[in-house]
Amino acid sequence: PMFRRSGRILRVHQGAGGVVRGERLGPYRLEAELGSGGMGTVYRARAVEPAPPVAVGTTVALKLVHPHLVTRADGLARLRREAELGGRVVHAHVGRTFGADAADFGGHAQPYLVMEYVEGRTLNALLDELHHVPEELCWHIGREVVKGL
């Protein structure tokens, strides 16, 4: 058996939501949109001001969370708590979570999650290239994912 692409594809739209390269969100400058989904849109960003534990100049993955997901009075506090718990997970197979906050963006408080940026190809890119993934590679990827869990 081979692993085949399902009909579900992560679509990347440059400038979605009116965000343009170089815009600032808190201490970060947005550089490029990486993808979007049900929780929000992820950008490659660079810290341009101190944002402990992230040093100035560090590239991060910045997820702009859909504001409606944190509309409850305790929504941002819950997001920060989840980020703190995620930050405790340190494993070679898991991208680090550095924190969560909100900053003024377009006249409203925009919640965001700060994560480790990992350079490399996505599974979608691999599937685009190969059209199917051999069974042994599927098992290998699965084992590596499980190690992180």
**Percentage of the chain exceeding pLDDT 70:** 87
Residue 15: the pLDDT is: 40
What is the reported pLDDT for 125?
87
pTM assigned to the model: 0.77
Look up residue 125 and give its amino acid: A
Per-residue confidence (pLDDT) for residue 19, from 0 to 100: 63
Q: In percent, how much of the chain has pLDDT > 90?
A: 39
pLDDT value, residue 42: 92
pLDDT of residue 18: 54
Distance between CA atoms of residues 79 and 101, nearest Å: 8
Query: What are the beta bridge partners of residue 115?
Result: 61, 97
CA angle 90, 123, 24 (to 5 degrees): 65
Segment 82-101 shows an average pLDDT of: 90
Q: What is the mean pLDDT of residues 16-45?
A: 85
> For residue 72, which phi and psi values (nearest 5 degrees)?
-60, 155
Give the mean model confidence (pLDDT) for residues 11-15.
33
Tell which residue, 13, 83, 21, 76, has the closest CA to residue 41. 13
Q: In this predicted structure, what is the pLDDT of residue 47?
A: 97
Q: What is d(CA 28, CA 22) in angstroms, rounded to the nearest whole number?
A: 9
**DSSP letters for 25-49:** ETTEEEEEEEEE-SSEEEEEEEE-S
Lowest mean pLDDT of 41-45, 49-53, 61-65, 75-79, name the range. 75-79
Question: What local confidence, expressed as pLDDT, does residue 5 receive?
Answer: 34
